[in-house]
């Protein structure tokens, strides 16, 4: 069980992350998000976030004692619970599992292409001749496909 002070610290961190991720939206096929857009914010590493300050797994935990394991498990449960309340999820880094992120998926966002920003729905991504192409849909239901490289920026606007 985490203290109310700790829980409030988690809430504050996640509120900051939710605001920060509005401009950190990208297309990520690696996370298998059903072709959704991923917005994420780096929270820190397990060394600075988790109560034990250590990286360990359930099957390799000789560097932590039972008390540290319980404190980390309780903290992670509270972190995931509070994230869920905000429509977020917690995940570890792809390249470094010690990195911790808050994330959220979106179906539509504001895409800047050729200097013009429009709200578009993201429908899919495909590979053609070693280049990624994105299929987007405008407000009239018209679909079009463009090279991912031609997207200048992606951002979201909160509900």
Distance between CA atoms of 75 and 7, rounded to whole angstroms? 8
Q: What is the pTM of this model?
A: 0.81
Does residue 42 surpass a pLDDT of 80?
Answer: yes
Does residue 55 surpass a pLDDT of 90?
Answer: yes
Mean pLDDT of 121-144: 88
Query: Where residue 95 falls among pLDDT bands split at 50, 70, 90?
Result: confident
Please report, for the chain, the start and end positions of each structural domain, with discontinuous segments joined by +. 4-106, 108-155
Phi, psi for 74 (deg, rounded to 5) = -65, -40
Strand-pair category, 131-137 with 108-113: unpaired
Query: Where residue 60 falls among pLDDT bands split at 50, 70, 90?
Result: confident
Distance between CA atoms of 91 and 49, rounded to whole angstroms? 13
Instruction: Name which residue leads in pLDDT, 47 or 130.
Output: 47
Distance between CA atoms of 81 and 50, rounded to whole angstroms? 15
């Amino acid at each position: 069980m985490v203290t109310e002070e700790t829980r409030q610290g988690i809430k504050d961190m996640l509120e900051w992350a939710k605001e920060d991720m509005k401009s950190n939206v990208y297309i990520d096929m690696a996370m298998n998000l059903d072709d959704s857009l991923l917005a994420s914010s780096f929270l820190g590493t397990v060394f600075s976030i988790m109560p034990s300050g250590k990286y360990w797994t359930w099957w390799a935990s000789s560097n932590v004692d039972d008390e540290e394991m319980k404190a980390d498990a309780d903290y992670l449960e509270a972190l995931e619970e509070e994230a869920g309340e905000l429509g977020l999820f917690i995940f570890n880094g792809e390249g470094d599992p010690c990195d911790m992120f808050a994330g959220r998926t979106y179906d539509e966002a504001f895409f800047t292409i050729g200097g013009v920003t429009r709200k578009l729905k993201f429908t899919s991504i495909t590979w053609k001749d070693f280049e990624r192409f994105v299929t987007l849909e405008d407000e009239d239901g018209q679909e079009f496909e463009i090279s991912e490289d031609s997207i200048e920026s992606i951002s979201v606007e909160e509900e």
